[in-house]
Amino acid sequence: MSDELTRRVRDALGPGRTSHAPPEALWSRIAAGTSLLPSRRRFLGWRVAATGLAAAALLIAVSMFVRRGVESRAPQAVQVVTIASLESIDAAVSAIRKDSASVPRVADEMVFLARMRASLQSDFLQKAP
């Protein structure tokens, strides 16, 4: 604060400035003593606005970081999804394998699943970086 403002604040507070008066009462005395200080309500409004702006900036920064992270992982996402698909086919084959010798339909289904597996690999995995 400038010297002039300091003097006027001290004058406004008077000798009781170190008293145990509640902050609201002290602020009222200061505000009544000088017009150079903003009102408490205005001061609080400015703080709320600043906090809101900071929070919004933080939110934007985090969302940009997350989005960039997701995008940079796109190749991995393709591979992860394709590998999960292959694993689901493998699980299906394992589930019916025990009957393949005795039931021709099961053997035929295993051939179908093997074809699906090969298609997935050629369509999605072989070209992935």
Distances from the Cα of 35 to the Cαs of 8, 38, 39, 75, in angstroms? Answer: 10, 7, 9, 62
Q: Is 107 in the site for other proteins (CB under 8 A)?
A: no
Q: Which is nearer to other proteins, 37 or 96 (CB)?
A: 96
Closest CA to 43 of 64, 28, 21: 28
| Out of 112, 114, 118, 121, the residue judged to bind other proteins by CB under 8 A | 112
Q: Which is nearer to other proteins, 9 or 116 (CB)?
A: 116
Contacting residues for 14 by C-beta, under 8 A, at least 6 apart: 29
Length reported for the chain = 129
Taken in order 57, 59, 62, 66, the sign of the CA dihedral is negative
At residue 57, φ and ψ (nearest 5 deg) are: -65, -40
Residue list 48-87, contact with other proteins (CB under 8 A) = 71, 74-75, 77-78, 81-82, 85
| Out of 9, 26, 37, 92, the residue judged to bind other proteins by CB under 8 A | 92
At residue 35, φ and ψ (nearest 5 deg) are: -95, 5
Q: Which is nearer to other proteins, 25 or 66 (CB)?
A: 66
Tokens describing residue 28: 């009222």
| Out of 12, 96, 100, 107, the residue judged to bind other proteins by CB under 8 A | 96
Q: Which stretch binds other proteins (CB under 8 A): 1-9, 11-19, 54-62, 114-122?
A: 114-122
Interface residues toward other proteins, by CB under 8 A: 71, 74-75, 77-78, 81-82, 85, 88-89, 92, 96, 105, 109, 112-113, 116, 119-120, 123-124, 127-128
